[in-house]
Chain A
Amino acid sequence: MYEQIAGNKRKTVLLLVVSFLLLAAVGYAIGLITGTGWVGVAIAVALALVLQIGAYFKGDRLVLASARARAVTPEEEPRLHNIVEGLAIAAGVPKPAVYVVPEQAPNAFATGRDPEHSSVAVTQGLLETMNRVELEGVLGHEMAHVVDRDILYGTIVATVIGAIVLISEFFLRSWWWGGFGGRRSDRGNGNGGGAELIVFAIGFALLILAPLFGQLIRLAVSRNREYLADAQGAMLTRYPPGLISALKKIADAPHAMRSANNATAHLWFDQPSRIEGQQTGRMEKLFSTHPPIEERIRRLEEM
């Protein structure tokens, strides 16, 4: 457990450094394409600093807001609060803040920067479809993420990568529709078409690669972490059948979620999908942040 916490802290620092460089690279690419040079880098670096500080301190708020999660009181949801408090006692950490997401697909996530500043959120659908032991199973999994500091890494990935993808998409689109013509007109007084074309190609490739790179970083986060959180959660509740039963119910339930998006997919208990009632396609599998539910059940049954 302590190695995992240390590992997560190391990964978080690495992520911050890599994403900082990535943002600077994107800024450089934008500077090349728009012809503003180092101004792009300066803006990108400033942006990266603001973004990373913001992600560390306010990332959890951002993630909760993007899921439209609402804080609930113990009076509103006594069962949920009792379970979260019990699991926090079992794990020896302070009780996280409790949120409910207005979605019908049964799902849950945890966010925050450390156990002292953590939140767990469950969907309305999870509350309605799960009984007590199943709910305990799911929340035990989330509590494991809290204890291992997976939430810190996951939240920063969500915020920083989300922003990088958003920024480069924004520039790519605006360049596609407007900037292209403007750039072309001043090509005549450049140092020669060939060299500039190469520079342009590099910048363009960077823009395309940035979101892909972000995707790869995120893939490295999740799958094994999910198996581990399943196992740790089951250790916490000392009752693997609860989690197994919850996973089985989730496998049969509809997955479509309105607030699902690429930047936060890896945070959820089960991979959220935007497509109603569709089986997981090959492409989705390739880019999936979570292991298949059947495999998670199988590993738990072997415990």
Chain B
Amino acid sequence: MGWTLLIVGGVILLIVIFGIVSYNRFVQQRQLIKDAWANIDTELRRRYDLIPNLIETVKGYAAHEREIFEHVTEARTRAMGATGVEDQANAENAVTAGLGRLIAVAEAYPDLKANQNFLALQEELIGTESKIAYARQFYNDQVALLNTLVQKFPANVIAGLGHFEPKPFFEIDEPVRGPVQVDI
């Protein structure tokens, strides 16, 4: 009699402990993903801030490329108003493509390419884009971890009780790294 009670009690205790540990793990992972998304957001915002300056600088040398300026400005406005991971990703892809075209245009103007202000902005842009890529990488790694965790038995029971659901990946086009070359 006493033994069965002890065993049943022990098993229940173990289950409760497992539940608590597992629940905390989900909470922790959810917070990590939230922080990772905040990282992406910071870098995206930095890029939005760069765009008007970049356009102004290029305008000074290539005023007639108005179509591209408008295109990039429009993409930026849309991206700033985007909601949700998927919508944001699509909007950002348009910004990245537009900026790529803007930089490609600038390549045709040697005076602009030598402009100190433009060079500084370009470094800031490259730096920010690679940070966006790194932030995305970290975010997606954490999401992948959560998504596996949510599906695995027996943790999935806890996930169901605590309403922890799989999260979408942030899928954007990678900035082109280019070949390894000397560019001092």
Seen from chain A, the residues whose Cβ lies within 8 Å of a Cβ on chain B are: 78-79, 81-83, 85-87, 89-92, 128-129, 131-134, 136, 238-239, 241-242, 245
Contact = CB atoms under 8 A, between A and B. Distances in A.
Given A131-B182, A133-B180, A241-B180, A82 B131 contact: yes
Given A131-B181, A241-B180, 6 more contacts: A78-B123, A79-B127, A85-B131, A128-B184, A133-B177, A133-B180
B127 A89 contact: no
Given A90-B138, A133-B177, A82 B182 contact: no
Contacts of B120: 78
Interface of B: 32, 36, 39, 43, 120, 123-124, 126-128, 130-131, 133-135, 137-138, 142, 177-178, 180-184
A24 to B, nearest CB: 43
Contacts of B177: 133, 239
26 contacts: A78-B120, A78-B123, A78-B124, A78-B127, A79-B127, A82-B124, A82-B128, A83-B127, A83-B130, A85-B127, A86-B130, A86-B131, A89-B43, A89-B131, A90-B134, A128-B184, A129-B184, A131-B180, A131-B181, A131-B182, A131-B183, A131-B184, A133-B177, A134-B180, A238-B137, A245-B180
Contacts of A91: 138
The interface centre, meaning the residue of B131, B133, B135 with most chain A CB atoms within 10 A of its CB, is B131
Contacts of A86: 127, 130-131, 133-134
Contacts of A82: 123-124, 126-128, 130-131
Give the interface SS of chain B, mostly helix, strand, loop or mixed.
Answer: helix
Given A82-B127, A82-B131, A92 B184 contact: no
Contacts, number: 58
Contacts of B184: 128-129, 131
A290 B32 CA distance: 35
B179 to A, nearest CB: 9
A79 B123 contact: yes
Contacts of B135: 89-90
A89 B180 contact: no
A239 B177 CA distance: 9
B151 to A, nearest CB: 22
Contacts of A89: 39, 43, 131, 134-135, 138
A132 B137 contact: no
B182 A92 contact: no
A85 B131 CA distance: 7
B39 to A, nearest CB: 6
Contacts of B39: 89
A162 to B, nearest CB: 35
Nearest to A244: B180
A134 B135 CA distance: 20
Contacts of B137: 90, 238
Nearest to B120: A78
A92 B39 CA distance: 10
Nearest to B32: A92
Contacts of B128: 82
A162 B91 CA distance: 55
Nearest to A92: B138
Contacts of A81: 127
